[in-house]
Chain A
Amino acid sequence: MRIKTTDLTRKFHVGSSEIVAVNMVNLEVNEPKFIAIVGPSGSGKSTLLNLIGLNDNPTYGKVFVDDIDTSLLSGSKRRRIRLFRMGFVFQTFNLLPTLNALENVELPMALARRLQKEQREKAVELLKTVSLDNRFYHRPKELSIGEMQRVAIARALANDPEIIIADEPTGELDSKTAKEIIDLLFDINRKQKTAIIVATHDQRIVEVADILYSIRDGKLRLEH
C-alpha cells in the first residue's frame, strides 16, 4: 500500500479564530517501515493521522492511496479502505465495552463479512499472538490497560491490514507495559511486513522507528 499526501492542510474554526492543525504536509509511505511522528500536544499529530487514515477530509491538499486521489472516493469506498487495508490503534484503546476480547477482535472481520468460523479462528490466533490466550472471554473492564491495548492491536490486525495507524498507543500505559506494546508493534512491522505509523511522545518508539518525523504547529519535518 502506497500512501502519499500533497500539501495536506487541515484548518479548524474555534470561535472566531482559525487553527491550522496540519499545514502543507507532504508525506510518503512506500514500504512497510516503522514511522514515528513526534510532537507536543496540540501540534497536529492526531489530526494528521486522521487524515492519513481517511477519517477526516483535508481543508486543502490530497491524500493518495496507491495513486488514487481519495478525495474523489465515496464515503463507502473510503470506509472499505479503512476496513480492509488499514488498522487503527487508539490511545484510549476504544474497545467496545459490551464485547469480550474475542468479539472485539472478531468485529472488523464480521464487518468484512468473513465466515463466523474463520473469524473465531483468526481472533484466537491474534489474541495468542498478543499473548492474551487466557483472556478470550473477558470484557474490557475486566482487563488491565496493557491487555486492553493488546486487544486493540489484535483488532487492528484482524483484516490483515497493510498499514497500522497508531495514535499515542503507549500514552496511557506504564513504562513496562509501554515497552511490551512497542516491542509488539515492532514485531508486527518486522515479521508481518505491515507498515506502522505511530504518533507518540514516547522516546522508546523514537529509538526503534525507521523513519522519524517531528511535527510542530502542523508543519512536518523529517528528522531521520
Chain B
Amino acid sequence: MRTITICLRNLFRRQARTFLCILGIVLATMSIVTIGATTFRYITIIKEMHTYFSGKVVVVSKGAIVIEAFPIGIGSLPENMTEKIEARAGVKNAVPMLFIYNLEGALEAVPTNFTIGIPPGDWSVLVGPTPLRLGGHWPSAESSKNEVVVGSSLSDQYNLTVNGRIKLNGYDLKVAGVLDTSSALLSRSTVMSLELVQDVYGYNRLINLIVVEPIEGVNTEELADTIESEIKNVNALTEEERTDLAQPLISNIETWTLGIRTVLFILSMIFVTTVAMMNISERRRDFATLDAIGAPKIFVFKMVLTETGIMGLFGGIIGTLLGSVVAILVASLFTGIPISLFFPGIFDITPPLLVFEILVSTVAVSCIAGVIPAIAAARMNITEVLRAEY
C-alpha cells in the first residue's frame, strides 16, 4: 500500500474542499502563466529589437521615444539630414528609414502591424539575411513605386501571396515577396521603399530614423557625440545607449511580473495551508491512531506534505494548461491576430521552460504550504486526542 494511494483517498474523502482548493491553485497558476507568457512575449519582442542595427548608430528626433532601435510616437526628421550625416567624418554610410506603427485592425493597446520604408537596395540593413518565401523578390528601384514585401504572419493572416494585391490608405500595391521569418517584428511588417511609405502615409520628405554605419575603427560613441553636437535636435544612439533605454522598461515589466507572481503564490500558499489545517483538524483521531500504533513522525509528516503536493500538482497542471490557452486568447485579443496563427508558434507564446518552471514552483509552494500543517500533525498530542475519545 503506497502512501500516495492513502493521500489520494484522503483528498477524495473531502471532495468539495479538495476541489475548491485545487480550483484556487488553478486560478492562481493560470493567472501566473497568462501574465508570465504575455510579458515574456513583449520582453522577447523588445529584446529582439535589440538585434537590429548592431554596431551602428541610430539617429532619431530628440523628442522621440525609442524602444531599442525603433522610434515610437511623434518625432520626424527631414530626409536631407541623411546627407548631412553621411558627410560627417567617420561615417561610412547613412540609411534613412520611416518606421510606422499601424494600429488599424487591432486594439490600440498593442500595435501589431508595422510599415517600414527604406531606400531600395538597402533592404539588408533592416532584414539582414532573412530570406523571402519561394517566388518572391525584393522591389527594384523601378518596381518599388508600387511593390511591397510583407511579413509571414501578415501574409498568413490576410492571405497575401507573391503577386497578390494589398490595399494601404487607398493605394493598390503588389506583393513582391513574403519574408520567411519568425521574427515578431518582421513577420508583422510591410517593408517598402521609403518614397512609397512617404506617399502612402503623407510623410512628405520626412523620415524618423537614420541608421549610421561608422567607418571601421571609428569609435561609435565618439561618432554619436559628434552627430549630436553638430546637428541640433537629434539623439544619436549607440547600441549600448539603446539597450540602456530599454532596460528600465524590461526591468519594470519583470519586477511587476515577479511581484504579481509572488502575491499569487503567497495567496495559494495561504489557501493550501488553511485547507490542510482543516483536514488535519478533522483527522486528529487518524493521526493519533497512527502514532499509537507506532507510525514514525516522518510518515505522518510526509503524508500531509504529499497531500498538499498532490493538490499543487493537479492545480498546477490544470492551471498551466488553461493559462497557456488564456495566454493565446489574450495575445490574439490584444493583437487582432487570429488564434490559429498562434498555434504553429505556441511555444513562443508559452515557452515550455516557463510553463515547467511555473508548474514546479506551484508544486513546491504547495509542499511548503503543507509544512506547518505537517508539523502540526506530526507533533499532535495523541494522549489528549485519545482521551477525548472516551
Contact = CB atoms under 8 A, between A and B. Distances in A.
Interface string A170-207: 00000000000000000000000000000000000000
A111 B9 contact: no
B291 interface: yes
B289 A106 contact: no
Contact of B294 (A103, A108, A116): A108
Interface stretch (A29-37, A94-102, A126-134): A94-102
A90 B386 contact: yes
A79 B296 contact: yes
Name which of B6, B13, B288 has the most chain A CB atoms within 10 A of its CB. B6
A108 B293 contact: yes
Given A55-B383, A103-B1, A110-B1, A75 B297 contact: yes
A91 B390 contact: yes
B384 to A, nearest CB: 9
A138 interface: no
B257 interface: no
Interface in A5-42: 41
Interface in B331-390: 382-383, 386-387, 389-390
Q: Which 6 A-B pairs have the closest CB atoms?
A: A83-B294, A98-B9, A82-B294, A94-B289, A56-B383, A79-B294
Contact of B389 (A90, A106, A107): A90
B201 interface: no
A101 B156 CA distance: 63
Contacts of B288: 94
B291 A90 contact: no
A96 B1 contact: no
A88 B389 contact: no
Interface string B1-37: 1000010011011000000000000000000000000
A80 B294 CA distance: 6
A103 B6 CA distance: 10
Contacts of A96: 6, 286, 289-290
Nearest to A95: B289
Contact of A168 (B12, B291, B390): B390
Nearest to A158: B293
Interface in A53-103: 53, 55-56, 75-76, 79-84, 86, 88, 90-92, 94-99, 103
A111 B13 contact: no
Given A46-B390, A111-B293, A111-B295, A94 B285 contact: yes
Nearest to B13: A98
A184 B12 CA distance: 35
Contacts of B293: 82-83, 88, 107-108, 111, 155
Nearest to B288: A94
Interface string B273-309: 0000000000001101111111111010000000000
A111 B296 CA distance: 8
B294 A91 contact: no
Contacts, number: 81
Nearest to B9: A98
Interface residues of B, number: 25
B296 to A, nearest CB: 6
A99 B9 contact: yes
Nearest to B293: A108
Q: Looking at A47, A88, A98, which has the most chain B CB atoms within 10 Å of its CB? A: A98
A92 B389 contact: yes
B390 A99 contact: no
A53 B292 contact: yes
Given A94-B292, A107-B1, 14 more contacts: A55-B292, A76-B297, A79-B294, A80-B294, A81-B294, A83-B294, A91-B389, A94-B285, A94-B288, A95-B289, A96-B290, A98-B10, A111-B293, A167-B390
15 contacts: A55-B292, A55-B382, A75-B297, A79-B295, A82-B293, A90-B289, A90-B386, A90-B389, A92-B389, A94-B286, A94-B389, A96-B289, A97-B286, A99-B9, A103-B1
Contacts of A79: 291, 294-297
Contacts of A108: 293-294
Nearest to A116: B1
A143 to B, nearest CB: 16
Residue from the set B1, B9, B13 with the largest chain A CB neighbour count within 10 Å: B1
A82 B386 CA distance: 15
Contacts of A168: 390
Given A99-B9, A110-B1, A46 B386 contact: yes
A137 B100 CA distance: 73
B13 A97 contact: yes
A86 B294 CA distance: 9
A91 B12 CA distance: 27
Nearest to B5: A103
A81 B296 CA distance: 12
A86 to B, nearest CB: 8
Nearest to A168: B390
B292 to A, nearest CB: 5
A50 B383 contact: yes
B9 A55 contact: no
